[in-house]
Amino acid sequence: MNRTADVTSGKGERPVVPGPSSGRNVPADWVSSRPRAERARRVADALRQQITTGGFVDGVLPDEHSLGRQFGASRNAVREALGLLRQEGLIARRRGVGTTVVMPKYGHGLDRLAGLAEALTGYGTVINEVRVAEIVPELPAAIAERLQVPATAGGVHLERVRWLDGLPLSLDTTYLTADVGAGVLAGDLAGRDVFTLLEETTGCRLGRADVVVHAVTADPDTAALLGIGVGAAVFALERLTHLSDGRPVDTESIRIRADRMALRATMHRGQPAVSD
């Protein structure tokens, strides 16, 4: 049998990618027959998954020799993998301790409509640095189109840097329709989620949101505000939120530090589409 770089579950059904916590050695041909850069990438992918799901409870990774044995990779490939994770800001080398996880990645679910403070309940206190909070007499044309109102109807413009555990997490730019924006503008923007303020001031529940997520790099202004390097990885999240009656009232452009946040969702398999 020609064995490839995949390890099966033993039933020949689907590949199983082992992690350092699995307690098992993997066949050397899982990675060793590949070019070193590819081996390093595969090891880094497996370790990243362990880090983002809390697999290293004490925050310390196994040593290079153990990782090489567990992944069937050379020490050089393991070092390259760890170097990739260091570049991403996930791990650091500490004298006398070893390789440690630098900071946890917080999970933000995409399968439930929630503000950041609500989504991160239990992780710490979210503090909002309000940079802009103003009434605008005329909306940008693209914003007015998304909110389905005339540009001359005006609205409210907000810009906030969201902080968690003393570090900046995201840069949020928000436009609200004029009829709901005035009430939000009068609320506690430094301490509350916009979603919460929207529901309180309108007396109407939020209904749904249309969300698109892109992977982009930080421009100089975003980098300075979020405390990261120019060109660092960030998530660009575009969200249009509707009230329960269907009206679009809130359009946002959010830049999230990719080294501090993981976007998560639980998805269910629906019925397959039936073609005519």
pLDDT tens digits, one per residue of 129-143: 999 999 999 999 999
Average pLDDT, the chain: 84
End-to-end CA distance of the chain: 42
Top-ranked range on mean pLDDT: pick from 14-23, 28-37, 111-120, 212-221: 212-221
Is the pTM higher than 0.95? The answer reads no
Give, as one character, the DSSP assignment of residue 275. P
Helix axes 64-71, 36-52, angle to 10 degrees: 100
CA nearest to 169, candidates 61, 256, 64: 256
Q: Which domains does the chain have, with CATH numbers?
A: 20-101 (1.10.10.10), 106-264 (3.40.1410.10)
Residue 256's pLDDT is 92
pLDDT tens digits, one per residue of 60-102: 999 999 999 999 899 999 999 999 998 888 889 888 888 998 8
The yes-or-no verdict on residue 117 having pLDDT over 60 is yes
Residue 86 DSSP SS3: helix
